[in-house]
């Protein structure tokens, strides 16, 4: 039987499980693992500047392609606690990432040794499993179980904590005969799907709500086929955006309090039946549940049985992986269509597209300073259907989701449930690492951008090009807008006069100098007509220099983006709406007036 250190066995298992890339920061307590990583070869490593950044890079990497599992590595103590935000983000959005931490020797873990912390207990609430391995012989089994857990049921992250003496201990392990454990995913039955389809057929105005579970299951093609067979319009959630192309005749738009379309909310409020697949009825999607549920029958399909009825009780629930369920939904629908037993939904689908053409927000403004809506209009012109957008939270994300267009799954990569500021830069680096040929475009407000901007140096060092659109109003815009309800404008102002860059006035941080100082390229735009040329130049610079390129748009200081505090039936439209085609020239449908 081959003998090797437990650390080397762990690295060999990573490779057997399909891992080809890892992100991390070495340190004393994890150095034996890094030594094994170098000696074994086959796993490319990207050195982050911050361990939280490494965890978000792993998230972006996972989210880019079906089957990817991002790996992040750190030493003992603060490295693990730094990665808690990434684990929380991953668990909230059902994203499998593996976090590997070093630990003090087993004999002193509980003696307040340097950087010895019970990271397994800290991480337990935000992982599927967190384990400190105390016996070297258990390392192969713990890693094998980790991949099984990450892939089975509702996907999610796992943390493995390795004391330094455990890493160094030799064990017997044969990589050649190692096999991953079978993955478990619940699957709908034919009878369950037949009942759900019968409920859909009995309705007059049905909708499908497609969540992130559809994308996680790589089931978008099946979703579209089922929608087309039954003629049912589809509402993608924010995490499910891209499961059906924005320009598809059955895409009815997004619903919600913030990242929603006027036409999406209007169509949902006209519906009488909703089939939710792989979604969790997030509160910013539903708003007040009495408005959301009144007059509608609900069927909910989710991979996690305890998710059924968690937010509200559906009329019928099915515990199933989205792909397994949709395979049966398509099978049943094909049979019913062949028999002529599917209702004609043409008028209902056409009404959704009519709303799409009539209920639009204005994007075309010539104001200086620039209004944010114009930024997204020009992004629609500059970046095509192959673009992978990456963003997290803020008015920039909300407005972007209202006005940008997404055409494919995994082309809107968004941290939905946790929404940590600083997520965007490292996640975009993870996405660009996973798909180096793609056009990756990140979107940040100035505060999100400043949280982890040191990670731009990772892109410069490792030649990871992408375009970062930075909308700068020197304000915590989303919080300022929320503070209107309290009649305050308090501790949300970021403006100051930069003594080194007086030409930018009160916009404070010189992001161009910062980006250039970190080895990247940057362009500042102050007028709307400069946006499109800047985006085109950014693409050329990214291709030429193979580094991140920042395009900073100097915005008006205060803009209120359309949203509601509680109810999808009462979204506040703060800006002038589109009343003629020139007001929304890049809308999916030509404005009907």
Q: Copy the structure tokens of residue 406.
A: 């997404």
DSSP string, 184-212: ------HHHHHHHHHHHHT-SSEEEEE-H
Active-site pick, 25, 303, 550, 551? 25
Partnered with residue 438 across adjacent β-strands are none
Cβ 404 vs Cβ 380: under 8 Å: yes
Active-site pick, 476, 523, 554, 555? 476
User: If you ran DSSP here, which 8-state letter would residue 251 be given?
Assistant: B
Cβ 115 vs Cβ 104: under 8 Å: yes
Question: Which of 195, 180, 159, 143 lies closest to 36 in space, CA to CA?
Answer: 143
Cβ 159 vs Cβ 102: under 8 Å: no
Active site (annotated) includes residue 479: yes
The CA distance from 45 to 37, in Å, is 9
Q: Is the dihedral of CA 479, 481, 482, 483 positive or negative?
A: positive
The CA distance from 188 to 226, in Å, is 15
Active site (annotated) includes residue 25: yes
The CA distance from 199 to 284, in Å, is 26
Question: Which of 471, 452, 473, 454 lies closest to 517 in space, CA to CA?
Answer: 454
Coil, helix or strand at residue 98: strand
Active site (annotated) includes residue 51: yes
Active-site pick, 421, 453, 467, 571? 421
The CA distance from 480 to 88, in Å, is 25
Tell me the CA end-to-end span of the chain in Å, nearest whole number: 76
Active-site pick, 11, 13, 51, 568? 51
Coil, helix or strand at residue 458: helix
**Strands (E) located in 378-513:** 388-391, 412-414, 440-445, 467-472
The CA distance from 148 to 541, in Å, is 42
Active-site pick, 122, 269, 479, 492? 479
Catalytic residues: 25, 51, 421, 476, 479
């Amino acid at each position: 039987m081959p003998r090797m250190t437990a650390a080397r066995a762990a690295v060999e298992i990573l490779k057997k499980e399909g891992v080809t890339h890892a992100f991390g920061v070495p340190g004393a307590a994890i150095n034996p693992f890094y030594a094994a990583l170098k000696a074994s070869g086959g796993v490319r490593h990207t050195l982050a500047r911050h361990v939280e950044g490494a965890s978000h890079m792993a998230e972006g990497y996972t989210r880019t392609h079906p089957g990817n599992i991002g790996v992040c590595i750190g030493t003992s103590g603060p490295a693990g606690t730094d990665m808690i935000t990434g684990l929380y983000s991953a668990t909230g959005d059902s994203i499998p990432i593996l976090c590997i931490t070093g630990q003090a020797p087993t004999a002193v873990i509980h003696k307040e040794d340097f950087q010895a912390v019970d990271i397994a207990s800290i991480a337990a609430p935000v992982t599927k499993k967190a384990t400190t391995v105390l016996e070297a012989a258990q390392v192969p089994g713990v890693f094998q179980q980790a991949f099984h857990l990450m892939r089975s049921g509702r996907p999610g992250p796992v943390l493995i904590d390795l004391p330094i003496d455990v890493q160094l201990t030799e064990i017997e392990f044969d990589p050649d005969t190692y096999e991953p454990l079978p993955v478990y995913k619940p699957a709908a039955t034919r009878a369950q799907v037949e009942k759900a389809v019968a409920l859909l057929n009995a309705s007059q105005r049905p909708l499908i709500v497609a969540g992130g579970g559809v994308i996680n299951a790589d089931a978008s093609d099946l979703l579209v086929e089922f929608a087309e067979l039954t003629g049912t319009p589809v509402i993608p959630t924010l995490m499910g955006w891209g499961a059906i192309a924005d320009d598809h005749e059955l895409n009815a738009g997004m619903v919600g309090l913030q990242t929603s379309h006027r036409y999406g909310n209007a169509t949902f409020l006209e519906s009488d039946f909703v089939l939710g697949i792989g979604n969790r009825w997030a509160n910013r999607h539903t708003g007040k549940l009495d408005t959301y549920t009144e007059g509608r029958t609900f069927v909910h399909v989710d991979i996690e049985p305890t998710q059924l009825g968690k937010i509200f009780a559906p009329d019928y629930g099915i515990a199933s992986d989205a792909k397994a369920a949709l395979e049966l939904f398509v099978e049943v629908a094909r049979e019913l269509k062949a028999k002529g037993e599917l209702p004609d939904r043409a008028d209902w689908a056409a009404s959704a597209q009519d709303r799409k053409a009539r209920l639009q927000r204005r994007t075309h403004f010539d104001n200086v300073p620039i209004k944010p809506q114009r930024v997204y209009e020009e992004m629609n012109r500059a970046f095509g259907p192959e673009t992978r957008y990456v963003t997290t939270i803020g008015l920039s994300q909300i407005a972007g989701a209202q006005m940008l267009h997404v055409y494919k799954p995994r082309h809107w990569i968004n941290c939905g449930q946790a929404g940590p500021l600083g997520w965007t830069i490292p996640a975009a680096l993870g996405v660009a690492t996973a798909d180096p040929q793609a056009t990756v475009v990140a979107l940040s407000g100035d505060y999100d951008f400043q949280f982890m901007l040191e990670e731009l140096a990772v892109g410069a060092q490792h030649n990871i090009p992408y375009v970062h659109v930075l909308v700068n109003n020197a304000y915590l815009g989303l919080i300022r807008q929320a503070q209107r309800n309290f009649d305050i404008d308090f501790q949300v102002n970021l403006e100051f006069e930069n003594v080194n860059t007086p030409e930018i006035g009160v916009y404070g941080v010189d992001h161009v100098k910062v980006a250039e100082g970190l080895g990247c390229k940057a362009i500042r735009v102050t007028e709307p007509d400069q946006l499109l040329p800047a985006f085109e130049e950014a693409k050329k610079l990214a291709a030429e220099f193979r580094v991140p390129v920042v395009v900073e748009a100097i915005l008006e200081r205060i803009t209120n983006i359309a949203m509601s505090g509680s109810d999808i039936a009462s979204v506040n439209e703060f800006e002038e709406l589109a009343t003629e085609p020139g007001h929304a020239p890049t809308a999916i449908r030509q404005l009907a007036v």
